[in-house]
Each structure stands twice: as C-alpha cells, then as structure tokens.
A and B are shown apart, each in its own frame.
Chain A
C-alpha cells in the first residue's frame, strides 16, 4: 500500500481520525475533503483507516458463550449468598 509522501499529506494524516469521527471544524473538514479528492494516495489511506475502524466495531457483536454465562451466574449466586454488601467503589 502506498503511503502519503509530501509534508502536506503527512500533516493531513494527523487529522484523519478527527475527520473520520466528524470532529474537525467545518473549514478544516472542507480543506481535507478537497485534498482527498485530489490525492489518490491520501484517499486510499483514509479509506483504509475507515475500514480499520469498521473492523473494530464489528467485533462488538461478540456473544457470550452459554456455558460461561451459566457458570458465572452460578458462581455469583454463591458469592452473593455468602458475602456482605459493601459500599460502591471500583
């Protein structure tokens, strides 16, 4: 994969996460959008970073195995039956 080469590209690379998270001020967002349209290399980088973020988000659908659920609940029930209730803290 090609990576951004110019100083301008490197500077914009630092803003890519904020761009993807829609956290850039409007003027900077427009400027970066315009650059991406002109620079295939940076556009590829932006697409790739976006794909990375999407891949992470898909992992959030992991389900709890039934055996783990049952075992944990049984253990918690035992502990709750035997231990005192304290104050909230972590």
Chain B
C-alpha cells in the first residue's frame, strides 16, 4: 500500500526514531482506513495523509518525552516483534550491487545531513524533495505560506549542500 510506504518514510526520516515510526505509521494508517473513503478529492487526500502522519509522529514523540532523542538510520536496523533487531531492507532487488552501494552511501549522508536541520525545515525538505509534494501542498501540510516554504527550502538546501559536500 502506497500510503503505508509514505507513512513509514515520513515517520522514520522526520521522527528519526524506528519505534516512533512504527507507532506513527499505525496511527496514521488506522485513521486512513477509517476516514479515507470520506475524502473525495485525490489531491486533498494526499495533503490529509501527510498531515495525519505528521500529527501522529508528533504525538508519538510526545509520549517519549522523557527519553533522549535518538537517531535511526534507514540503513541500520528495524525492531522485530520479539525485540531483536534486523537490518532494514530498503533496496530495490532489481538494482546492481554498485548502484545499491552508491544509493546506500548517499542515503546515509542525506540522513546525517537532514538531522542537522531544524525540525520544520527537515519536514519541508522531506515533503518537497523526497516525496515530491508541490509547494502549495507542503504549505498546507506544514501550515505556513508558500513564500515561507520557498524561503526555508532554499536555506535548507544550502545547508544540506554544505553537509553533503563536506569530506
């Protein structure tokens, strides 16, 4: 289900916490199953879904307010039901090994760079660049003006560039 993958990527990259990602994804998908049929326009559904995941992610984070913030790489591990860990399988099996390695390297670098951004800028970059939402959609999800989205996106890109280019 596409919505599930979106929710997972969003939770993991924006929340940066695998447990939060699981909780947030389940909460968001539950709301999706219950309410999606009542949303008639596909464009409205997209915005609604991302807003729902964002809120679920924030709620999940608040529940863990006593825990120190932890970062979870997409390439590291995921938790299994019995509490053990396993490597997250995020690669397309159709890709060549050298492509897989390069993509893994890029994703790790990007993940590190994203974590240096303020949370709202990280959210904007994720929605606009990773998920490909329009500026208008990002503004609707985040709750700021389109002009503000563009300004913050530009600053975030410059910051990310510095981190990605750093040796």
In the complex formed, the residue of A with least CB distance to B160 is: A52
Smallest CB separation, A15 vs chain B (Å): 9
Chain A residues whose C-beta falls within 8 Å of the C-beta of B55 in the assembled complex: 90
Complex Cα–Cα for A80 and B29 (A):
11
Chain A residues 48 to 84 lying within 8 A of chain B, measured CB to CB, are 48-49, 51-53, 55-69, 71-73, 75-76, 79-80, 83
Say what secondary structure dominates the interface of chain A. helix
Given contacts A48-B161, A49-B161, A64-B4, A57 and B130 within 8 Å (CB-CB): yes
Q: Are the C-beta atoms of A55 and B110 separated by less than 8 Å?
A: yes
Partner of B34, one of A14, A57, A86: A86
Complex Cα–Cα for A81 and B110 (A):
39
Chain B residues whose C-beta falls within 8 Å of the C-beta of A79 in the assembled complex: 26, 30
Q: How large is the interface on B (under 10, 10 to 19, 20 to 34, 35 or more residues)?
A: 35 or more
Interface size on A, residues (CB 8 A): 41
Q: Are the C-beta atoms of B132 and A71 separated by less than 8 Å?
A: no
Given contacts A52-B160, A67-B78, A90-B48, A61 and B88 within 8 Å (CB-CB): no
Is there a chain B Cβ closer than 8 Å to A88's Cβ? yes
Q: Are the C-beta atoms of A56 and B78 separated by less than 8 Å?
A: no
Chain A residues whose C-beta falls within 8 Å of the C-beta of B160 in the assembled complex: 52, 56
Q: Are the C-beta atoms of B130 and A88 separated by less than 8 Å?
A: no
Interface residues of A (CB under 8 A from B): 1, 13-14, 16-18, 23, 48-49, 51-53, 55-69, 71-73, 75-76, 79-80, 83, 85-90
Interface residues of B (CB under 8 A from A): 4-5, 8-9, 12-13, 22, 25-26, 29-31, 33-35, 38-39, 48, 51-52, 55, 74, 78, 80-81, 86, 88-92, 103, 106-107, 109-110, 125, 129-132, 150, 153-154, 157-158, 160-161, 164-165
